[in-house]
Chain A
């Protein structure tokens, strides 16, 4: 490329913010997960006494000025304050199954008969509950916590390491200096803008229709708009390209053609058509990022809290 990085900032000199180094799963999260599991496994019991907040109530509309409501099931959830049913939710508390009440639902006053009500019975989060989850080798709350860490620690650590890698890359892009060939940059953006415009159109999003105002854009104007949105990606692209080159990772046009051929084969599309819909710089950006996030992740992990 004609555009160059003049002074390449060394991200190794950066102090990583403490927040980015954190990755440990807090015990509160595990407790919340157990509570959510208890709610998932809650049993439901028919309400035999009076209806209370937290119950789910099934009624049938027996009379209403709006005929479409008559005979329709009306569900009420006292205590949840669902818009349109606030008054009905209050009115139904203290009633019993079989009773008839008159209440406001939406904009209509109606008479409903309470056909049924259920109450959620949630298990207490304790060792007995953990046993009921049937996780091999896990029979106490503390064993569940250990198991949860085994399942999720590496995923969290990797996610945090990507956060640090992202920080290194953005800081390198911000702190380096460049000599930009404006014509090359614009052609780079335009190529991607064209692909973006066509891709969005195929997905049903027409970039010719503006977010504000009523003036429909021409194809050229919409592509130019998409190209402008790509401008912010140009310098980060130079940075990841440079870092990959320093690693000796340089994807070739042949790699690109092979990757597109593979996608075309999978989708049953002629290679020419797939090539028309693809873009070399987008492919490069994808594989550059893949390479950098994989190669820099272990280094980032070494910087994280123990």
Chain B
């Protein structure tokens, strides 16, 4: 699976999955560029999780709606409901660590 680029039109549908990770990123953000290949690797490797990315430069209304104050910000959803969020660049090991909070906590 690849990371799906979301728009204001398809976003709400995308986050309805059982487990969803959304990456709010920016065009000129070094930490976002650092994280992108690791996120892509996680998306290729971990079936059943929906990986979504939102370009905050092109989708400012989504950034505003989710009150994104830092880039990148990762928001985790279960069946459309936000479970938690974290911000800052991540390598694969940290992505795994953060995903485990989505998958293995109530």
Contacts and interface: CB of A to CB of B under 8 A. Distances in A.
Given A82-B99, A83-B96, A77 B46 contact: yes
Nearest to B19: A75
Which of under 10, 10 to 19, 20 to 34, or 35 or more describes the interface residues of A? 20 to 34
B104 A106 contact: yes
A282 B88 CA distance: 27
Interface stretch (A66-74, A207-215, A225-233, A243-251): A66-74
A42 B43 CA distance: 11
A203 interface: yes
A82 B46 CA distance: 11
A5 interface: no
A16 interface: no
A81 B106 contact: no
A250 to B, nearest CB: 27
A82 B105 CA distance: 12
Contacts of B45: 39, 54, 56, 77, 80, 120
Nearest to A77: B46
B37 to A, nearest CB: 7
Interface string A78-104: 001111110000000000000000000
29 contacts: A36-B44, A39-B40, A39-B41, A40-B2, A42-B44, A44-B1, A54-B45, A56-B46, A56-B47, A56-B48, A66-B106, A74-B103, A75-B46, A77-B45, A82-B97, A82-B100, A82-B103, A83-B97, A83-B104, A84-B100, A84-B103, A85-B103, A106-B104, A106-B105, A118-B47, A118-B48, A120-B44, A203-B69, A205-B69
